[in-house]
Each structure stands twice: as C-alpha cells, then as structure tokens.
Amino acid sequence: MTIRAALHRTLAAVAASSAVVALTACGTAPEPPAPVRIGATMSQSGAYATQGVPARDGYLLCAEHVNDAGGLFGRPIEFVIHDDESDGDTAAALYEQLITDESVDAIMGPYGSTLTEAVAPVTERHRMVHISPLAATTSIWEQGRRYLFMVLPPAELFLAGLIDLADERDLERVAVLAEDQLFPRAAADGAVELARERGMTVVAAERYPSGQEDFLAFLEQAADGDAQVLAVAASALDDFINIMRQMREAGMDVSMFGTSGAVDEFRDALGADAEYAYGLSAWEPAAPNPGADDFVDAYVEAFGRRPSFHAAGAYGSCQILVEAAREAGTLDADALREVLLSLETTTVFGPWAVDARGYQTAHRGLFIQWQDGERVIVWPDDVATAAPRYPTPRWDER
C-alpha cells in the first residue's frame, strides 16, 4: 500500500470512528472536517524523477505526521500532487489547474530551479505563497516576486565545499562542466568565481545541452590542462554517471571529482568507481537537525529506502508551511508571507531564515565523500563526520 493510500485509509477510519461516537451521543453524525488541500507537482517521470519521486514522498510523509498530531486548524491536510513529467510548461499548466480548477487551499513548489522558474509567474499572479523546497538559483529571487520562498542554500554555493577542500590541499587547476540549465549554470558560475578568488586556474569551463551523453571532448580538454579538480553541475543524475564512466574509460586522473548533487543512485550505478567522489548534499541524516532520526526511520518504513536530501527538503518545507500557518492562524497569503519573512526555525532539513526577497540566508549545505561505499560528511568542519580521504586513486589503476 502506498503512503497516499494509507493516509486516505487512516483519515477514513478517523472519520468513521468520530461518526460512531456522535451517533451514540445524539443520534446524528456531524460532517467530518474538510481537509486542507495542498497542491503541488513533482517530477515523477522524466529527467528529474530520481529527485522528484523522493521529494513527493517527503510531502506525503509530512502530511501523515501532521495529521497524526491533530492536523492544521483541526483539519487533516491532504496533498494533491500531479506529475509534471520534468517539463516546465507542463508544471506551469498544472499549477494553474490546481489553483483555478481544483481550488486548493495552499500550494508547495515542484522540484528544481528550472521548474520553479516556470511555475513562479503562475503562483505570483494568483498571490499564492510558494515555498520552494528544491530550487536554489539566485536569479529566481531577483525579479521582485513577493510570495516565493527559498529553502535550499543558494545554487552559487553548491560546489563551494569542493573548491574549499581543494584549496586546503593546495590544488591549483580546476575544470568545471555544467548542463545548460538554470540551476547548473548558476552552480558552475559560483564554482568558477570562487576558484578564481582563491587564486586557482580554471583550465576549462564549458556548458553542454541537456540530453548530451558524450563528454569525451571536454574530458580531453580538462586532461590537456592537467586539471586536478573536476566539478560537474547538472540536474540529471545520468550525467554524473556518464561523466564518471567516461573518465574511467579514458583513464583520466584527477585528484578530486565532485558533483552538485549526491544521491545513493550514483553509488549504486558506479559501484567502486564512486569511491572518493564528492557531492553536495543539502542534508544528511547525521546532521544535527531536530527530528532527523525519527524522520529517517519513518521514511524507511514507509518507502523501503533511505531518504535523499530531496525527500528531507520537501518534508522540511512542509514543516515550514504548517508552522507559519499555525503562527498566522490562517492560510491567507499576505498573513503567511509576513510570518515567513520573520520566521527563524530549524526543521528536519536544517536552519531556515530568509531576507526580504524570500531568499535563504541560514542554510549552507554539506559536502559528502563516498568512503567504503558509504557517504560521510567531510565539509564544513563543524559538522563533518569523517576526514576527506586522499589521494584519489588513479582511475586507470583500479
């Protein structure tokens, strides 16, 4: 049984039980409270499904836990989640449908910067508070939008941990590759800027179109520049996997390889070739956030796998909406907005605070490294669970 089905079954049982009590007491059955309906899309198919499916599940698990604690305003919450197929036009149309045709009470955001940028004009036009769980590109928050709120650390910082760690090792030559989409471009530009600020030489910096599968030309350019660090920013997990495989096949040697997103599927696909690779994770179970252990246990029980940061981001974003609504005492958009602008809290996902743009100021993210097949936090130092392992073995000597 899916968690959505289980949730509906639980709500039905609660309503039935309440009806029995009411009939016994006075012979009539009151109407059960109408649910608070929260609309969203998630990429349950297409290029972003690896990230979108766990994010959807994070929303659903949050709803279950909120309802177990009495709901919102004495009403259960219910997510109405459509599959946007990893397509911006589809996502925008579905949010219009959720707001105008399905009359949801509130909305939550889709996966990623590209889809958030597509959806934001719709939510702004309807004056709906839009907490974005997994969008991080700064430019989205520089267009005068009033109802959009960021949860992730800014995209420009997504590869900062890799550059910091490389700088600590006195590595000097960096290559940066980015998918030509909104978020990866911002993440790559941030890495290039930070590397140059640290006095490093950027020997190659390229963008590639979504769907490209052959990266050998760029890898040869990086090798010709004697790159010691290779940073990759992409939205699609398959790109990270393909690049690593082609490095292996070409016998390319770098001291550090890092990506803008760390998920277990990377290790599952690559096996031993994932060892020593780095990746940005906005959240890890070992991070000191309240309720993280209970969240992980519940997620594993419900879905049979450990949560990624995408799941935790969606769950934490749901927590923020519920906390703000309770403090405001309403779902009125302007009242919610005022609360969110001043709210400082820590969710399962991490710290939350925003500036006047709704732009995240508290969350900085984590960098993990694959060690002995497991992911460990290696940056920043104050929350690291292990030291980085050096040197990375040559890819052609494994």
Which CATH number is 159-260+264-284+366-397 given? 3.40.50.2300
Gap between the Cα atoms of 40 and 30, Å rounded: 30
For the stretch 350-362, pLDDT in tens is 999 999 999 999 9
* Tens of pLDDT, residues 271-307: 999 999 999 999 999 888 999 999 999 999 999 999 9
Whether the per-residue pLDDT at 221 is higher than 80: the answer is yes
What is the edge-to-edge ordering of all strands in the sheet holding 106-108? 77-83, 36-42, 106-108, 130-132, 148-150
pLDDT digits (tens, 9 = 90+) for 69-100: 999 999 999 999 999 999 999 999 999 999 99
Mutual angle of helices 182-197 and 160-168, in 10-degree steps: 20
Query: Under CATH, to which class is 33-154+308-352 assigned?
Result: alpha beta
Write down the domain spans for the chain. Answer: 33-154+308-352, 159-260+264-284+366-397
Distance of alpha carbon 254 from alpha carbon 240, whole angstroms? 15
23 has pLDDT over 70: no
pTM for this predicted structure: 0.80
DSSP 3-state assignment of 358? Answer: coil
Q: Map residue 218 onto helix, strand or coil.
A: helix
Mind listing the pLDDT tens digit for each residue in 100-154? Answer: 999 999 999 999 999 999 999 999 999 999 999 999 999 999 999 999 999 999 9
φ and ψ at 377, to 5 degrees? Answer: -80, 125
Cis before 54? omega within 30: no
pLDDT for the residue 13: 39
With H, G, I as helix, E, B as strand and everything else as coil, classify residue 172. coil
> 31: pLDDT confidence band, cut at 50, 70 and 90?
confident
Average pLDDT over residues 228-255: 92
Instruction: Return d(Cα 119, Cα 121) in angstroms, integer.
Output: 6
